[in-house]
Structure 1
Amino acid sequence: MTLSLDDLPARLQGLSPEELEILETELRARLWQRRWDRWTPYPWQVPPDHIETLGWWLQLGGRGTGKTDGCARYMVAHVNGPPCDPRLRGGHRMAIIAPTQGDAVEACVNGPSGLRAHDPRVVLRTTAGGTFARWPNGAEAKLFGAHTPDDVERLRAGGNRCLVWMEEVAAQRRLGEAITHSEMGLRIGPNPHYIASTTPKPRTELIALTRRPDVIRTQGRTRDAVHLPQEQRDKLIAKYAGTRTEAQELDGILLEDIEGALWSRDGLDTARVGAAPPLASVVVAMDPAATSTDDADEMGIIVAGRGAAYIPDRNGFARQHGYALDDLSGRMPPVEAARKAIKAYHEHRADAIVAEVNNGGEWIGAVVRQVDPTVNYRTVTASRGKQTRAEPVAALTDQGSAHIVGSLPELEEQLVTWVPGDSSPDRLDAYVWALTDLMLAPAGNLAAVA
């Protein structure tokens, strides 16, 4: 019997609510199957045959190579495969950990390469227990961030899982803690494991992952991502050809220490501490974008302190050590930058906000005083080159007297990849101003040495 489209409304009106629900479910399933069958993977998106228990499938790739797409596809296939625990509704309890929970929602669930692109039956639900991606059969993936201490605490209580997807591993601020606490919960089923996607950056934890025998790596290059327009690929490759940006951001190569850089990864790791001791002084250092209206560059905002105790450095010289406490840098308008610095000033009971004014930074003082006139604010002026200012601060790390507290990945990447002669980034500049103020400048005469 052939049914014309003209007859369809009448036929649908004749169905009971139960029959309509069955029809809708069947149509959704067929739509999902059609989408699923049309997907053609890149070679680097094809998962390994087997991943060890607590092991990893790590997708490294340049921009536009479908890393998120590959992981989303894997998770949907996992849900529709054998149950990890038949006692659970849907058979699976999973986790998605992204730089922030918002990133998990936007990229991993709702985005054009997220779970819903592969399985439109997925729904997003926020309850008292958290935010979840859920399937009709009851399987679920809980969404986490890895940016703040509160995010890590939520991971401690994140529950047991059979699969963890780590999205943009290299951009997760508290990556080490996120791995530790998620691993504690990988306890469901016969083979709990990780999948991960990232554009590589020289993070200590990421480098360590790539050296583990239970981590299987696949790698994709932007130049081979044929789903991207050829013109776009050609322009990106032409613009960044032969640079570190091409190797890392387009070819997906994990770069480690850079020849000529003043800081080394091993040096930062050796000096790293888990917590700061009692501090004698704290400053919030600001290095501005070129102008108050420039949103192309970052505003460097670094909080650092000088320890109260005199501790021997590697040369046996007893001195007060420096501690980088927080990195609040980012692209933001002037008022937001001032408010962020002022908030840090009060939270850390800082002695001053210190701002560099050579590069169009005169606006900082006016905005800071407008927002909070009680702040102790002072300026510094660079009379020497960036290398000359940075070298003594890098030497503090080599001597074991300058420390990063916990992990500040964006700052650390700038430190270990900046080579004198290149344009120095704003986080690095703010860090140099902070440590110079705390440890290298004669009292009351910072501008003279800056």
Structure 2
Amino acid sequence: MTPEQLAELETYSPEELELLERELAARLWQARWDAWTPYPWQIPPGEVETHGMWLQLGGRGTGKTDGCARFMVEHVNGPACDDRLPGGHRMSIIAPTQGDAVESAVNGPSGLKAHDPRVVLRTTVGGTYVRWPSGAEAKLFGAHTPDDVERLRSGGNRCLVWLEEAAAMRHLGPALAHSAMGLRIGPRPHYIASTTPKPRKEIVELLARDDVLTTRGRTRDAHHLPQMMRDKLVKQYAGTRLERQELDGEVLQDVDGALWSWGLLDRGRVGAPMPMSRIVVAIDPAVSNTADSDETGIVVVGIAADLMPDRLGQLQRHAYVLDDRSGHYHPHEWAATALAAYDEWGADRIVAEVNNGGDLVRHTLHSIRPGAPFAAVTASRGKQRRAEPIAALYEQHRVHHVGAFPELEDEMTTWVPGEPGSPDRMDALVWAVTHLMVKAGGGFAAVA
């Protein structure tokens, strides 16, 4: 800005400066808006019906979030859904967690602020909201815990709901059910959704609905993504089953030879656990000591206090998978993460397999918290032999997932005995259920 322009600004009144600021913000928004070049799959293929959905399935870097953010901004700047509302619109954004909604759908490089810099994020007593200058707003929700889902019950009525990374939501089914109850504002309230596809029951059911319009994008066609990045992703997944899911946006079905199937997991899935008599945190430590190594599996499993019928109607003990804290950690980080899970869930002890770093786990835990309860699990050598009894318990309907654990379930449903790879989350699950429900001789235990 020149000295002359600065001098002229000093002559403006506060009201004139505010008007100028609004005008410049509007021009900036219009410039960004006009510069957007969509992929074909970022454009809905028609008008979405009431309570229907536009579902974007795509691989990495295909602009799924970008397309939904653009759609929501267009909706806000379109005809009012209810003239009685400030700005005419009241919407929701639901993500795996509320933090994900803020980070990805609002503040991220493809989020709402990238399409409309006038968007303001506010947290009040009533929750976290995105607001436009017109007064239109979208409330942010997560779908990670039962409490998150309960908040959706009182989330208010909406004209548009955006589901961000729907397949990664732990409680996707209840989130859909409760948010639908509030889709009642305007002439055509509906959903938009963006996700990397996973063969979860809810996703498969959505794809079968007549009122769900689906578009699909492939990473190799995402020309806005740098070629170097596309080449790296293709090289990383080339020749694997996940290439079709993570890059081509396909919903893959069950893997031949895998010990678990999506149908098996869904049949045992529950919304909330029964009262627990025991809870353990199981650790499968990464092989090396860097955060860039394999993941460290950290899974929380409990056993119900009461006996319940199994698949044949016989009263048996049932286990519940409660949490998955796995990730890339240094040793002291995974130990601290496991101890935090131990405290939060009121667990009895932390367990690890004696032949797979059990002593390492004990020593690392005790370096942070001396005397922390620890038990070494002894299981058959070989992943297949130790995993098969646990898969059998699932077949008997004696192991249940509380909500969804997408990364853990991906490992369970894609690992085939005899194939290379280290399914760390699955291994941690196996250690936990083995400790709670499998006898030393290989039979099933009724743990008191």
Describe the shift of the 1:114–1:276 C-alpha distance in structure 2 as closer, same or farther (beyond 3 A). Answer: closer
> Which of 361-370 and 73-82 deviates more?
361-370
Describe the shift of the 1:213–1:262 C-alpha distance in structure 2 as closer, same or farther (beyond 3 A). Answer: same
In structure 1, C-alpha distance between the alignment counterparts of 2:23 and 2:150, rounded to whole Å? 41
Aligned match of 1:384 in 358, 381, 385?
A: 381
> Which of 89-98 and 338-347 deviates more?
338-347
1:304 aligns with 301
2:403 aligns with 406
Aligned match of 2:288 in 276, 287, 291?
A: 291
CA contact (8 A) 2:283 2:297 kept: yes
The equivalences for 1:409-428 within 5 A come to: 409-420=406-417, 421-428=419-426
Question: RMSD of the TM alignment (CA)?
Answer: 2.4
In structure 1, C-alpha distance between the alignment counterparts of 2:10 and 2:157, rounded to whole Å? 45
1:108 aligns with 105
Aligned: 1:342 with 2:339: yes
Secondary structure at 1:85 match in 2:
coil
Cα deviation for residue 360 of structure 1 reads: 4.1
Aligned: 1:258 with 2:262: no
Describe the shift of the 1:275–1:110 C-alpha distance in structure 2 as closer, same or farther (beyond 3 A). Answer: closer
In structure 2, C-alpha distance between the alignment counterparts of 1:415 and 1:389, rounded to whole Å? 13
In structure 2, C-alpha distance between the alignment counterparts of 1:348 and 1:116, rounded to whole Å? 37
CA contact (8 A) 1:289 1:359 kept: no
Cα deviation for residue 319 of structure 1 reads: 3.2
The equivalences for 1:95-174 within 5 A come to: 95-174=92-171
Aligned: 1:326 with 2:320: no
Describe the shift of the 1:355–1:177 C-alpha distance in structure 2 as closer, same or farther (beyond 3 A). Answer: same
Cα deviation for residue 359 of structure 1 reads: 4.0
In structure 2, C-alpha distance between the alignment counterparts of 1:387 and 1:215, rounded to whole Å? 40
The equivalences for 1:227-242 within 5 A come to: 227-242=224-239
> Which of 31-40 and 78-87 deviates more?
31-40
| Structure 2 letter corresponding to 1:73 | R
Secondary structure at 1:218 match in 2:
strand
In structure 1, C-alpha distance between the alignment counterparts of 2:307 and 2:155, rounded to whole Å? 41
In structure 2, C-alpha distance between the alignment counterparts of 1:246 and 1:375, rounded to whole Å? 42
Once the two structures are superposed, residues 10-48 of structure 1 have per-residue CA deviations (whole angstroms, 9 ceiling, x without a partner) of 333333222222222222212211211111110000123
In structure 2, C-alpha distance between the alignment counterparts of 1:412 and 1:41, rounded to whole Å? 33
2:427 aligns with 429
Aligned: 1:267 with 2:264: yes
In structure 2, C-alpha distance between the alignment counterparts of 1:397 and 1:427, rounded to whole Å? 16
CA contact (8 A) 1:284 1:345 kept: yes
CA contact (8 A) 1:273 1:403 kept: yes
In structure 1, C-alpha distance between the alignment counterparts of 2:257 and 2:73, rounded to whole Å? 45
Secondary structure at 1:90 match in 2:
helix
CA contact (8 A) 1:170 1:203 kept: yes
CA contact (8 A) 2:143 2:175 kept: yes
In structure 2, C-alpha distance between the alignment counterparts of 1:164 and 1:40, rounded to whole Å? 24
Once the two structures are superposed, residues 52-85 of structure 1 have per-residue CA deviations (whole angstroms, 9 ceiling, x without a partner) of 1111101010111111111111111111100111
Aligned match of 2:359 in 354, 359, 362?
A: 362
CA contact (8 A) 2:170 2:403 kept: no
Cα deviation for residue 153 of structure 1 reads: 2.5
In structure 1, C-alpha distance between the alignment counterparts of 2:103 and 2:275, rounded to whole Å? 40
CA contact (8 A) 2:220 2:230 kept: yes
Aligned match of 1:60 in 26, 47, 57?
A: 57
Give the length in aligned residue pairs.
443
The equivalences for 1:11-22 within 5 A come to: 11-22=8-19
1:353 aligns with 350
Cα deviation for residue 169 of structure 1 reads: 0.8
Describe the shift of the 1:185–1:366 C-alpha distance in structure 2 as closer, same or farther (beyond 3 A). Answer: same
| Structure 1 letter corresponding to 2:8 | R
CA contact (8 A) 1:291 1:360 kept: no
Aligned: 1:47 with 2:44: yes
In structure 2, C-alpha distance between the alignment counterparts of 1:34 and 1:239, rounded to whole Å? 37
CA contact (8 A) 2:380 2:386 kept: no
Structure 2: gaps spanning 5 or more residues: none
- Provide TM-score, normalisation by structure 2: 0.92
Cα deviation for residue 417 of structure 1 reads: 1.7
In structure 2, C-alpha distance between the alignment counterparts of 1:301 and 1:52, rounded to whole Å? 42
Cα deviation for residue 293 of structure 1 reads: 3.5
Describe the shift of the 1:294–1:359 C-alpha distance in structure 2 as closer, same or farther (beyond 3 A). Answer: farther
1:218 aligns with 215
In structure 2, C-alpha distance between the alignment counterparts of 1:126 and 1:286, rounded to whole Å? 36
Structure 1: gaps spanning 5 or more residues: none
In structure 1, C-alpha distance between the alignment counterparts of 2:307 and 2:14, rounded to whole Å? 77
Secondary structure at 1:26 match in 2:
helix
Once the two structures are superposed, residues 278-323 of structure 1 have per-residue CA deviations (whole angstroms, 9 ceiling, x without a partner) of 4444322211111343443222122223344444533465432332
In structure 1, C-alpha distance between the alignment counterparts of 2:248 and 2:136, rounded to whole Å? 35
